[in-house]
Amino acid sequence: MSDTDSIKMVMAIIRPDKLASVKSALAEAGAPSLTVTNVSGRGSQPAKKGQWRGEEYTVDLHQKVKVECVVADTPADDVVDAIVDAAHTGEKGDGKVFVIPVEEAVQVRTGKEGKPAV
């Protein structure tokens, strides 16, 4: 197994309208590679009530964006700080950031493993 101790995945759930500033902040922090997925989820942000054809409905899952960023040379703490700074509004629903250890990484084109693959 290659040396993967310092490889971390930083996974952030953020507001969709903060994606552009988070992308710029990640590039500035030295972590330009990322995967972005549209997701829906629930935290402490209250459910929204609406009406459609006279019927009331509740939306308890909010549209969010998940950003996944695997880093080896750039410290995960720096990446977390960059995301939190860029995604913060101070209102409920700003999201969360999780840091997860990565056991292995392989670059498909070259077959490189571990840190060089990231």
Ligand X SMILES: Nc1ncnc2c1ncn2[C@@H]1O[C@H](COP(=O)(O)OP(=O)(O)OP(=O)(O)O)[C@@H](O)[C@H]1O
CB 8 within 8 A of CB 71: yes
To the nearest whole angstrom, how small is the minimum distance from the Cβ of residue 70 to ligand X?
A: 19
Q: Which is nearer to ligand X, 5 or 42 (CB)?
A: 42
Q: What angle do CA 6, 95, 50 make, to 5 degrees?
A: 155
Site string for ligand X, 26-45 (x = CB under 6 A): ---------------xxxxx
To the nearest whole angstrom, how small is the minimum distance from the Cβ of residue 49 to ligand X?
A: 17
To the nearest whole angstrom, how small is the minimum distance from the Cβ of residue 45 to ligand X?
A: 4
Is residue 36 within a helix (H) or strand (E), and if so which, with residue range? Answer: strand 35-41
**Nearest alpha-carbon partner for 72 in 109, 111, 30, 36:** 30
Site string for ligand X, 56-95 (x = CB under 6 A): ------x-x---------------------------xxxx
The per-type count for the chain, helices as H runs and strands as E runs, is 2, 6
Residue 63 to residue 57: CA distance in whole angstroms: 16
Number of residue whose CB is nearest ligand X: 41
Q: What are the residues binding ligand X (CB under 6 A)?
A: 13, 41-45, 62, 64, 92-96
